[in-house]
């Protein structure tokens, strides 16, 4: 749902938490974003989002990661994220256009990553081809879990900021 900044600032607490949770599923993050209203500009929303995210814990990061489908799992993306369709649309377009061999390689590498780290591979996939995502995943498989939490958290805030921008279209009146 695309909102004007004014509409976001005037949502009830429950409605605002629901809206922000579509951008990032960390409860600490979306509650802090709701409490941080009113915002004076979209840039202020994004700056505050980044600040709140930096103050989040590993537990908060992992909660946000759990809300993502595996890269390349297009069926999971459709089923699990129907409610975030407008904000998350096209995030995995590169994966949805990949050939079967690359998708199978992504699925296998994702399974290995999940088994190793306990959470799925997180990357801001917007604009990336499936091959680029596979290469990044393969490289990051070499990292330890602590490093991966840090890298995944950095990717999560990129995703969150993109969703905020998409959800707060400039000049939106609804």
Contact 94, 55 (CB under 8 A): no
In angstroms, the CA 28 to CA 32 distance is 6
Q: How far apart are CA 4 and CA 167, in angstroms?
A: 9
Which residues neighbour 169 within 8 Å (Cβ) at sequence distance 6 or greater?
2
Residue 68 a catalytic site member: yes
Token pair recorded at residue 56: 């989040």
Cβ distance 45 to 164 under 8 Å? yes
Q: Which of 19, 30, 68, 164 does the annotation list as catalytic?
A: 68
- C-alpha distance across the termini of the chain, in Å: 9
Catalytically active residues, by annotation? 68
């Amino acid at each position: 749902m695309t909102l004007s900044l004014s509409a976001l600032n005037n949502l009830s607490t429950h409605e605002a938490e629901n809206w922000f949770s579509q951008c990032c599923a960390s409860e600490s993050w979306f509650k802090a974003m709701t409490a941080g209203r009113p915002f004076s500009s979209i840039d202020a929303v994004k700056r505050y989002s980044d600040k709140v995210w930096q103050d989040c814990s590993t537990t908060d990061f992992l909660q946000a990661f759990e809300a993502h489908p595996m890269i390349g799992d297009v069926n999971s993306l459709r089923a699990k994220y129907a409610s975030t369709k407008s904000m998350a649309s096209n995030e995995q377009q590169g994966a949805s256009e990949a050939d079967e061999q690359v998708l199978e390689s992504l699925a296998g590498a994702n399974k290995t990553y999940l088994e190793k780290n306990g959470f799925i591979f997180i990357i801001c996939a917007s604009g990336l081809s499936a091959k680029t995502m596979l290469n990044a995943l393969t490289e990051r498989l070499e990292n330890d879990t602590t490093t991966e939490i840090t890298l995944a958290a950095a990717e999560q805030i990129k995703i969150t900021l993109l969703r905020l921008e998409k959800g707060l279209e400039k000049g939106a009146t609804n």
